[in-house]
Structures are given as structure tokens and as C-alpha cells.
Amino acid sequence: MTNEIIIAPSILAANFARLGEEIAAIDAAGADWIHCDVMDGHFVPNISFGADVIKAIRPSTSKTFDVHLMITPVDCYLEAFAKAGADIITVHAEAGPHLDRSLQAIRALGKKAGVSLCPATPEAAIEYVLDRVDLILVMTVNPGFGGQSFLGSQLEKIRRIRAMIGDRPIRLEVDGGVTRDNAAVVAAAGADTLVAGSAVFRGNGSADYANNIAAIRVAAESGRVPKLQYGSASPVRTSESELVR
């Protein structure tokens, strides 16, 4: 069964001076989930926001809060993010020595559990926790900042993780440098959930955000449809090099 495409704008790229309004704007613009990038200045070289901000923005939308914890240690903060209103809590496989325990703790809090891999981390790192997760997040930039370029090296990892998932009810999310120009090749590789920050929060308000979200969604859907070449009996796929900037 193929999951429908989910677009999850990252609020790291929003105007922090008007965060509640920005979230209401992407909600109205068609965002499926709200991706919340939590950074501690230790696991990643940047500091963003914590559980109190998640709690403050929770009333701004009823959409799913997809909380990406780029922090270490992480176990001691899970309950705070769960209470603040997170729906999905994703931890990094690299954040500590006891990933299986962290994922069990997230589910014990009644939340969906996600695991994220930095670009240098092989998919083997999650081989023994597939039955502990509802989401696998592949980083296609080195985490810490929005506006970076997509790392094409991660497409093979996405393909391999799609194969590992098999028919398990797990979403495959991609995060970092995703745009309307590479969303097709990302979806073709097997991703069904696309995070985008700078590619969504450009322009001025909800109408522009809606166009940006729709363009990424249409591109991702196009990547899932085999391309029929004129006169060809079998579908062919667009070459990846044409799509990844």
C-alpha cells in the first residue's frame, strides 16, 4: 500500500517574530504537517527553540506537529515535548547509545515515534528498530540550518530504506534542501513525506505559501508516475541527474 504524499513545512524558515501567524498561514496554505526543528547548539551547531515554544504555538493549528529533535541527550526531554503538544517525536540515531529505549519511551508517552539519520549514517543503524518506529527521517543536508543544498548522495539511502520498510506502516520522510525541482526524484526514490522550509516560506504570506506547497506536491506526485516514452511499450523514469540540483 502506498502512502499519500505529505508536505511538512519546516517552521525553522518562518518569521519567528510572527510564528503563530506564520503557522496559521501554512495551515491555510495546505500544509499537511507542521515540521518543528528543535536544535540545542550541541548535537547541531545552531539553537532554535524548545518545548515551551511548541506549547505556545500548539493552539495556532490542529495539524500534526512533526517534532524533529536535533538534541542530545534526548531521553530526558521526551515527556516535555509530548506534553507540549508534539504528535510525532523524532530522535536521531546518533543522539545516544540507547535508541531502542528512546523509541519505546516515545510510544509509551502515547506519541508516534520517528528516527532520523544524518547523511553519513548508513541505513544499517536502524535495522533492529524497524518495529519500534512509525517514521524514518532521512536528512539530505547536514542538520543545523535551513537553506542548504540537497545532498544527492542520500537518494540511494532513501531507496534502500524504502526496501527495508517493506509493507510495514512506516512513513519515509526526507528533510533538507527539498524543492519543487528535486521533489520528483525524492518521491521516485521512495519518500512519501517531504519536509521543506525555505522552499515553502518564500514570498509574502499564505497565497505564496500555497503556491509553493502545491508546486512541491505536484512535483512529488509526478515522480511516482512512471514516464511513458512516445512509442515505448514500457514506462521509463526521468534520469535523476536532470532533477537533483
**Residue 189: CB minimum distance to Zn ion, A:** 18
Q: Is 219 in the site for ligand DX5 (CB under 6 A)?
A: no
145 assigned ligand-binding residue: yes
175 assigned ligand-binding residue: yes
Our CB check for ligand DX5 shows the closer of 104 and 181 to be: 181
Is residue 37 annotated as a catalytic residue, yes or no?
yes
Q: Is 147 in the site for ligand DX5 (CB under 6 A)?
A: yes
Between residue 12 and residue 71, which ones bind ligand DX5 under the rule CB under 6 A? Answer: 12-13, 35, 37, 68
Q: Is 114 in the site for ligand DX5 (CB under 6 A)?
A: no
85 assigned ligand-binding residue: no
Secondary element (H or E) of residue 78: helix 78-84
Peptide bond preceding 143: is omega within 30 degrees of 0, i.e. cis? Answer: no
Q: Are 188 and 168 in contact (CB under 8 A)?
A: no
Output the CA torsion sign for 95, 98, 99, 103.
negative
Structural Rg of the chain based on CA atoms:
17
Q: Which residue, among 209, 177, 170, has the nearest Cα to 191 in the 3D structure? A: 170
50 assigned ligand-binding residue: no
Q: Which residue, among 173, 206, 208, has the nearest Cα to 189 in the 3D structure? A: 173
Output the CA torsion sign for 234, 238, 241, 242.
positive
Name which of ligand DX5, Zn ion, none residue 144 binds, using a CB cut-off of 5 to 8 Å depending on partner kind.
ligand DX5
Between residue 154 and residue 213, which ones bind ligand DX5 under the rule CB under 6 A? Answer: 175-178, 195-199
Three-class SS state of 125: helix
Tell me the C-alpha distance between 94 and 44, whole Å: 11
Please identify which of the residues 27, 37, 66, 134 carries the catalytic annotation.
Answer: 37
Per CB under 6 A, the segment of 8-16, 88-96, 123-131, 212-220 that binds ligand DX5 is 8-16
Q: So which residues are the catalytic ones?
A: 37, 175
Going by the annotation, the residues of the binding site for a divalent metal cation are 35, 37, 68, 175
Binding residues: 10, 35, 37, 68, 144-147, 175-177, 197-198
